[in-house]
Every structure is written in structure tokens, then in C-alpha cells.
A and B are shown apart, each in its own frame.
Chain A
Amino acid sequence: MMNVLLPILSEPQHFSGWERAVFGALAAASLFGFWRRFGPILGRILQSKKDPDFHLFPIGRRVRDFVWEVMFQAKVIRERPLAGVAHALVFWAFCAFALVTLNHCATIFGLGFLDPAGRLGRFYFDFAAFFAAACAVGILALFVRRFLVRPKWLGAVSWESGLIALLIFALMITYLAAFFVPGTSDAARALWWAHTLTLLVFLPLIPHTKHLHLVLSPFTVFLSRGGFAEIPPLADDEDFGLVAGKDLTRLVSLQAYSCVECGRCMEHCPANSTGKLLNPKEIVLGLRGYLNEYGPHSEEPLLGKYNAQEAAFECTTCGACEFQCPVGIEHVPIIVGLRRGAVNTGAWEDDHGAKLFLALERGNNALGMSVAERDKFVEKNSLPLFDGTQEYCLWLGCMGAYDPRGREIVVALVRVMRYLGASFGVLRKEKCTGDPVRRLGNDLLFQQLAEANLEALKQNRVRKIVSICPHCVRTIQEDWKAYGTPPEVEHHSEFLARFAHQLPPIQDQEKIVFHDPCYLGRYRGVYEEPRRVAALAGTLVEAPRSHERSFCCGAGGALVFLGEEKGERLSHVRAAELAATGASVVGTACPFCNTMFRDEFATKGEGAPGLMDIAQLAARGLPD
């Protein structure tokens, strides 16, 4: 069949010594050009500080991620399907072409190992031809997208991208054309040289452009930290976070050089889309610029010429950037690392931030409220106290203990738990889990809170925690690990979903739109459980951006404690999006989301949708 589709690939049979010499010289020059640029980059990466918590094993996860994200191009395709497939074709073509290129260069020395007339050779060359055609189509489509359609997150018109596209196109065309000329002709020779020259020009350009990701990104994905938005431990007593170049670790440097500038992080960044200075792409490229100018041993502050402190503190740590990144860049630890550098050294001077830190230095909760208020709430609602015998410890958190709306959520959850006959209790005293100070990079305060809490939980013999707040859940389960072994913890949506079948649904079916909290969805992968619970009280509709694309409410990253935002308010944007679905109720699963939207819907007046936590939705069907 193949014989019918394509003729035999032509290959010049004989090359003169002069040709070989020229090829040798050009190849040497090309490789030299490549190394001249790539060598220092590799040097900068390898000379960066070692990552204190890097473990090559278990390797299974790494292999899995590599296969899924690199070989299958899963992330690339999923978020931008058309462009993603086009790119995938180009990538697969490059993979397929590996042997072809090798063979191509070997032929000038008579060392070609793939015979175009032989069965294996024929098959392989035809196979590559299919990809070459797909690649040519793909690259054409991407060219049109970048230069004619011009989506804004690709940035300004980039001539280097055009050049690279042209070279790739030329590579594919020169390859395909070689099927249609006789092997001994001058045309074949010309095509061979055209293909070779294109190749030799392309090679040194790779490290000069973002196409360096061709070389680096497979490693970046393979070597990534794993998990999601994981904040690494500080290395030693002299480590205060990402203060200067000398604090950048190998992984961070590798990631900085891997950025493809695709702009997906920027596209999904809620801060960026509401007029703030923060742009995750620029944060990463800023590190690259810094490394190029100052290198990995520099004492020059990272927050200076290439990155602004203001931008680093506009991040809600929603993780949409990191979640999207097709080359494995982990933005959240980078941004938190920059914050650590500013906060642990006292360089960050912010009134609201200082107030938050002082409130937690001197007291128990992030809101600066008196503990007596929590005691009154517990007493007034007759919440059972945890005495070590109950199965669950119901963790109130700062919002559940002090915020009127948070308290309503707790009261509703308690109603449901009692109805289910669950055995639970509330601790007499709680300290803030430390989530806001962790995301702001205050390691001193976080350590104090984590250690105090772990000790208290141990003394109280807590084994299982249920919490209404995804931030508490995340901090307890992941962030406290650096200081001890936390008890099991789950979010109340997971608890309620387990027993949803025992809860009576209600008859009047409202339209409910569920807003995925960042720390429950992207951070924990929990999307279906809260929906199962919400479905008890109505029919679900989805917001345009839902599940892993959910748009942040704006409270995360301690931003809810930091005062007025610049630009448009995130909660405003998201609240409008949720209201526009036509739902009569917005369902939330995080007390912070709840409080952010409460203000928004309050100013809207009569037409605004109702706002309920899933615990309240679950409680609706309960007999009074």
C-alpha cells in the first residue's frame, strides 16, 4: 500500500570529500554555536543551589507524568485543543524525525543505516513522512494563529517565533520533497543540502529562543517537585527563601529556562485578568532575565530589576498558572519563595500584613478576635467538646469560629452531623492553622503555629479532623508535615458526600451553580463530592469556568487580610459570572469564598442569587 502512496525517498548516493569537509565544518560550527549559548545556561542551572528536598525516587510518578505530559502532550492539548493538537503534531514529528535526522547526517559519510528501498527503511520514512505532513500543516496553523489571529497572551509579535516556524516548515518540506525527485538527481542533492543547512541553522538557534524548551522541558517535567503548589522546606539556618540569585535552586532555574512563553498561566491568572501588575509568565521570565544578567551566585535582590515586590504580593495562590503549565513550571512555590525572601527578612512593609502577623504573634486567630467570642459561640450552640473519645474532631477554623457566616455554616454542618448520628466534638481551643502566614512566606510564625497545633492535637488525642475550610484542610494535611505528623483530615464536602444517600433531598428544585474553591478543586482534586451534596437541594448548572478552571474568589494567598485590591475586584468578576448563569443559588464550600461573594451580592440588591454553603444546602432537607 505504501508503495502506492509514496515513492521511495531519494538520497544522494555519493558525496565528495570536499562536501564532507564543508559539512563537517558547518556541523562543528553549528554545534559550537549551540553549545556557546546552551553551555552557560546549563552551567547556571547546575551551579544553582541544590534542592534540599529533591528525591529521584519514587520514580514511578515521574515516569507517569513524563509519559502523560510530554509524550502524550496531555496538558498542551487539553487546555487549548486546536492549538494543542497542532503543537502535538509538531512534537511527535520531532520525535519521529529523530532517527531520520541521525540517518540523514550519517549518509554523507556513507554511514546511513536506514535503506530507503528496504522494508524497514521504507516503512520508517513513510511513517516520518506522515508526521512531516502533519507537522507542516500544524506549524502553518500555529503560524497563522500567532501572526494573523494574535491572541494577546502570546505577547507581542515575535520575529524569532516566525523564523523558527519557517525553519521547521522548511525542514518538513525539504524532507517531503525528497520523495518526489529521483535519488541520483541534482535536485536530490540540493534538497539534501537544503535540509541539512536548515537543520544546522536551527540547532544553534534553539538555546537563543524559547525553543530551548525542546531540550529542557522533558527534564523539567520529569524532575518536577510533584504534588501541586508544594512549598519546599527551607534548607538551613541561612535560608530565608528566594532573596537573591544564590537562593535559586536548580529546579527553579531549570523551570525559568523552560518557559515557552505560551501565556496559558497569564491567561488563567485572576490577578492578571483584573488589571493587577502580577503576571505569572513575567515572574518566570523575570527570573530568567535575572539569571542571564546576574547568575546563580548573585546577592542582588530578586525583587528588584526583573520582578516587582508588588506583583509577588498580588497572588492569591489559586494555582491556575501551575495547573496549566505544559512544561512543568511550578509557579506557586516560586511566588511563595519570593514572598518568603521578603517577609523572612523583614523587607516587606505592609500595614495589613504586619497587623495579621502581630495578631497571630499575640493571639490565636488571624482576625484578631478575642477567644471569648469563640467560647461564647460554642456555648450558645451547645457544640459538644472533643474529649478524645469521639471519632471526628470538628475543626472550626478562624472563619467558622468568628465570622457570622462561617458560624452559620458550622451550625448547619452540626445539624447534619447530628442527624447522621456522627460522633464528633469541637476543641476547647484552636490556634489558626497558619494558612495565611504560610502563603505569605512567614516561616517563623508558621512554624510556631504548626508546632503548637500539632502538639495540642496530639495531647487531645485527635485522630480525624473534619473542616469546613479547604485552606485549613490543605495546611493541616500538607503544610504541617514539615513539623510533624498531622492527623487525618478531610473537607466537609467529602464527609457529606459519603453520607449523601442518607440525607433527604428537598422537593422544590432550585437552580444551583457550584463555585469550585481553589483549595478544594485544583489543590485537592475534589470536584464531584460537593456537587453530589449540592444536588440534594436543586439542579446543578455550571459556570463557564468550573472544575479545574474555576476562577478564584480573591481571598486566597492571605489577600483577604491585605486590604483593598488594585484594579477590578476578583470577587466582583467571579460573582458576576456566577450570577450570569441564571442560577437562583450560588453554592460554596469555603467560608472565604462565601464571605467574598456575600459582599458582592449584598450590593446587588434584590436580583442577586442566594448564597449557601453545601452544608446549608444539605441541611435544608432535614426535618426541623
Chain B
Amino acid sequence: MSVLLVLEQSDGKIKRASWEALAAALRLGPAESITAAVIGAQTAALAAEAAAKPVGKVVRVEHPLLAQYTADGFCAALQQLIQNESPTQVVFPHTYQVRDYAPALACRMGQVLIGDVVGIDDGPLFTRQLMQGRLNGSYRHSGNGPCFVSVQAGAFRTDGIDASATAGPAPITTFTPTIDAAQIRCKPGEPFRGSEQTVDLGSAQRIVSVGRGIKEAQNLPMAQELATALGAELAASRPICDNGWLPMERQVGSSGQTVAPRLYLAVGISGAIQHLVGMKGSQCIVAINKDPDAPIFEVADYGIVGDLFEVVPALTEAVKAAKQ
């Protein structure tokens, strides 16, 4: 049996999610059975990076038409590689890019991708989440042909990987697929950021939100420092904006914006319904409040009951330390 691991790159480096996929692949077979593939127009550096990890071999899938990601290009290239390598399993990190092409690739081979896997058990049985995380489902591959699996970011720890690297770098080979320019039907443009002028809390991944507990406008810089350290946007509950301490467009709540970031830090916010309806969809909610009965703790995943004037600076310190 052999595992083909498809690595993804960003800005000339292999993305962390790819190493997590490697950790998953290592559950399916030993390092020697894993073939890591790097894809692009110039993949020498990428291949070298991959070769230092615990894999059996590295394949450079290179073609000028693969310089920029397109579904057509990647599908064509990988289909040919798979036909060449005949792996039993093909493992991907579950990134936006993979979601864009892997299902089509699997379809071409009469298979279906088992996507966003969070666990692998004997069988192999693949666990993925259903009903927005309220249930887990165990999936088994039953067709003839390779089993396509993509792995959720953060589901597999990469701790052991460098340590279990094999003695020397893995051998690197090159595979040149046949791709015609006419096959590529989409023309992707350069990535760009959302508009900088307006505060778009809706697309912020992290938000630090302040409430009445902040007491005075001059205490805001302390919250701003935490936000900056976290790479987060600063937002507020209604009374703060009413007082003019922050502009109205930073208001989260029923009369302000509705947000659903990955991390929402509610600082000194009690959790009135008008505020809750604006942020209850956040993936991870942290509450800092000195009142242990504050309603915000009902919806929080993590809470610190304490004086925010002590907790917030301590948190800023801890975040900065963790980044190093």
C-alpha cells in the first residue's frame, strides 16, 4: 500500500496544514510508504523542504501552466500522477484550494473525497463532523481505486514529525504532466484584500470587543493593545459606541453588526440579548468579566472571572510570548 500526500504551498513555502496532513498520512502507513508531491512551475525549494520530512520520496510535479493554481491544471496534473503512482490513498490538507479541485479529481477517478477528516481509526475509518459539529460520522471507503482523504486544519498534531525524520533527505524525482493551455478554462486574478476604508467586522477572523466594564474612554488603548497583539479588530457593545468612545461601525449587536469570527473576546461585556444576537455565531467565545453570573459566560467557551484591568494586560503579555 502507498500513500500519495499532496502538499500545498503559499508564497514559496509549504503550508503548515500540509504537515498536519503528513501527520495524518503517517497514521495510514509508515514514512517509507508516503510519496509527497509538490506542485508548481518551480518546485526545487519546495521539494527540498519536503524531503527533510519523514516521507519515502518526493515528486516534483512541474509544468509552466501550474505556476498559478487552477482547478483544471491541478486536476490534469494529479490525475496523471495518480495513474502513474497508483497509490492506495491520496491525502490532502483540507484547504480552500483542495476543496476547489479535489472533489473533481476524485470524480474523474470514479471516487468520492472523504473531506475535512478530524480523526483516523483502524479500518481505516475516517471521522468527520456532521450537523455543524454536533455529531461525528465514521466513513469507510468501499470502492475500487484510490481512497481520497482531506484532513482538517488543526486536527492532527505535527509535534512528532521532525523528530521522526528519516536519516537523510528523501529522494526527489520530477514528474512532468501533459497539460494543454486550452484545458485551463478559468483565469484567476491576483489575490487582494477587502476594502480598507470601512471597518468590516464581518470578515474579521478575530475580534476583541469591549463593554461597559471598560469604564472610561482612556482605558481603550489597553484593549487596543490586546487586539493588535492578537491581530484582531476592535469592536464594542452599544453603550461604548453611544458614548462616542468608538465609532458606530464598530458596534456589535442587534443594532450594529452581526459577526462570526473564529475568536471573539468579550471584555467587560455582560451579555445582554442585544449584544448576544450579534456575536453568538462566533466559533470560539472568550469572556472576561468580574461578575461570575454575567450572562456572557453562558455562551462562552472559555471564561476568566476577574478584573479586566489586570487580565487584559496579562493576556497581551501571554499572547506576545506565545508568538515567539
Contact = CB atoms under 8 A, between A and B. Distances in A.
Check A-B contact in the complex, CB < 8 A: yes
Interface of A: 352, 355, 367-370, 373, 376, 399, 402-406, 560-561, 563-564, 595, 598-599, 602-603
Main SS at interface, chain A: helix
Contacts of B258: 355
Given A369-B280, A402-B273, A599-B239, 6 more contacts: A352-B255, A369-B276, A370-B280, A376-B298, A404-B272, A599-B272
A240 to B, nearest CB: 28
A561 B254 contact: yes
Interface string B108-132: 0000000000000000000000000
Nearest to A603: B239
B277 A564 contact: no
Contact of A404 (B238, B248, B271): B271
Nearest to A408: B295
Interface in B234-293: 238-239, 242-243, 248, 254-255, 258, 270-274, 276-277, 280
Contacts of A369: 273, 276-277, 280
Nearest to B134: A372
Nearest to B238: A599
B273 A403 contact: yes
B255 A563 contact: yes
21 contacts: A352-B255, A367-B273, A368-B277, A369-B276, A369-B277, A402-B276, A403-B272, A404-B271, A404-B273, A405-B272, A406-B273, A560-B254, A563-B255, A595-B273, A595-B274, A598-B272, A599-B238, A599-B272, A599-B274, A602-B212, A603-B243
Interface in B193-249: 212, 238-239, 242-243, 248
Interface of B: 212, 238-239, 242-243, 248, 254-255, 258, 270-274, 276-277, 280, 295, 298-299
A599 B298 CA distance: 21
Contacts of A370: 280
A357 to B, nearest CB: 15
B239 A564 contact: no
Main SS at interface, chain B: helix
A554 to B, nearest CB: 12
A352 B212 CA distance: 25
A561 to B, nearest CB: 7
A602 B277 contact: no
B277 A367 contact: yes
Contacts of B299: 373
A404 B291 CA distance: 14
A564 B255 contact: yes
B301 to A, nearest CB: 15
Contacts of A561: 254
Contacts of B242: 599, 603
Q: Which 5 pairs from chain A and chain B are nearest by CB?
A: A403-B273, A404-B295, A563-B255, A564-B255, A603-B239
B231 to A, nearest CB: 28
Contacts of A367: 254, 273, 277
A598 B271 CA distance: 13
Contacts of A603: 239, 242-243
Nearest to A560: B254
Contact of B272 (A355, A373, A595): A595
A456 to B, nearest CB: 24
A369 B198 CA distance: 28
A602 B239 contact: yes
A595 B272 CA distance: 9
A368 B280 CA distance: 10
A564 B272 contact: no
A563 B257 CA distance: 10
Contacts of B248: 564
B216 to A, nearest CB: 11
Contacts of B277: 367-369
A98 to B, nearest CB: 57
A369 B258 CA distance: 13
A402 B298 CA distance: 11
Contacts of B280: 369-370
A486 to B, nearest CB: 26
A360 B239 CA distance: 27
A603 B298 CA distance: 24
B152 to A, nearest CB: 23
Nearest to B240: A603
B239 to A, nearest CB: 5
A352 B255 CA distance: 8
